[in-house]
Structure 1
């Protein structure tokens, strides 16, 4: 996969764990976009406020769903997509968002087969594309991406907290977004802050 360069836009992802966010400060740090956690079985309590605050600060905004281990079948994956879509609608609808919708899939504590993980991901992604008319993307990390096959028609957001480019995996030859830092490891903000 390709390496990063200084011309890549930089953004953040946030959830309820960050509590209240000073969005104007985020914007002045050089961040240009934010992916905001919308759902994980229910709407994230900070989601609507974060979307409103990020938009008001002039950031491009995307939303993501965290697929947890309670989703064990394609029917549950489609139901999770419905909850995610409800959050999108509650925030003002598809047109409020500037970035692709995202499925964050990175856990398998139920020890599902690779075929089941792929089927669940595909069911969720297909349902979001059907509901929104927008092609969503998959977020995962290098040690988990091998659980998926046949999904490379969907864009990829890869997490790899280092300066080393992710390797081609499971059919993906490039990333659309690269999460290269967790705030502690991997890099700095555009203004030089951590």
Structure 2
């Protein structure tokens, strides 16, 4: 048998860069699995005293995480990681010109402690999608170990500046414009966070190419979302996590630990 270097030529510079990126992604996956694979944060669902179908169903998923914004204040990310938080979605932007005051800090610290994290944008119905995409891109760095970006689409009846509820065609068009711009820039297809009312009112059957993050705090999403598969599930806004003062949204990944490993490998930036 010939030596390896004789039968396999040395990789080109481009190939070496590709191998380096691959190694970085795999290292990120390994770190993520150490965080999300050593213990199950689903135990907190029972500790919260939640009842009903949502609590029981969420308890069955092994991989759990959180979503946060400036309202959680300063976070001890080491404590959150050690408690078993497997992923975190961080609010980055809102509309076309607002950046969450703690985004940069949370973005930096979650990476430092090894928690897989992604950034989310709070949708503003009174501004074109492409403008909102630019605001997000200006605020959120490219990062090979970041989860895909998220567009959070909610009705805003208490907004002081925009309570508009656009028709389905307009909403789909503008969200698509933002989603496509983010995919071009980051090389990742964004997820869409869609609560029950927005889904029911406008988006049943829309966005079949995008994975969806749903919200259902009283029942399993399959029982309240029509014609919608989901990848992440926000099952309570009253969660508790070591290192975070007060309540925090808790989320489950819809799959097994092996599914989580495969999802990370497919969705971390290249």
Q: Indicate the TM-score class for this superposition, using the shorter chain for normalisation.
A: 0.7 to 0.9
Q: What whole-Å deviation, never above 9, does each CA across 1:42-85 have from its counterpart, x for those lacking one?
A: 221111100111122221111100012332xxxx2111111111
Paired residue for 1:47?
103
From 170, 178, 184, the equivalent of 1:116 is: 170
From 96, 104, 115, the equivalent of 1:59 is: 115
Cα distance between partner residues in 2 of 1:130 and 1:170: 30
- The number of aligned residues is 177
Cα 1:170–1:125 change in 2 (3 A) is farther
Paired residue for 1:154?
210
- SS of the aligned residue for 2:67 comes to strand
Cα distance between partner residues in 2 of 1:150 and 1:86: 28
Structure 1: unaligned runs, 5 residues or longer: none
Cα distance between partner residues in 1 of 2:219 and 2:114: 28
- TM-score w.r.t. the length of structure 1 is 0.82
Cα distance between partner residues in 2 of 1:77 and 1:130: 14
- TM-score w.r.t. the length of structure 2 is 0.60
- SS of the aligned residue for 2:193 comes to strand
Deviation at 1:167, TM superposition (A): 3.8
Higher Cα radius of gyration: 2
Cα distance between partner residues in 1 of 2:74 and 2:222: 32
Cα distance between partner residues in 1 of 2:153 and 2:206: 15
- Contact 2:67-2:89 at 8 Å conserved across structures: yes
CA RMSD of aligned residues (A): 2.2
Deviates more, 1:159-168 or 1:126-135: 159-168
Cα distance between partner residues in 1 of 2:67 and 2:209: 23
Deviation at 1:39, TM superposition (A): 0.5
Which structure has the highest helix share of the two? 2
Paired residue for 1:87?
139
Cα distance between partner residues in 1 of 2:139 and 2:189: 17
Q: Which structure is higher in RCO with an 8 Å CA cutoff and minimum separation 6?
A: 2
Cα distance between partner residues in 2 of 1:170 and 1:137: 18
Cα distance between partner residues in 2 of 1:168 and 1:129: 29
Cα 1:57–1:162 change in 2 (3 A) is farther
- Contact 1:142-1:166 at 8 Å conserved across structures: no
Cα 1:39–1:59 change in 2 (3 A) is same
- SS of the aligned residue for 1:11 comes to strand
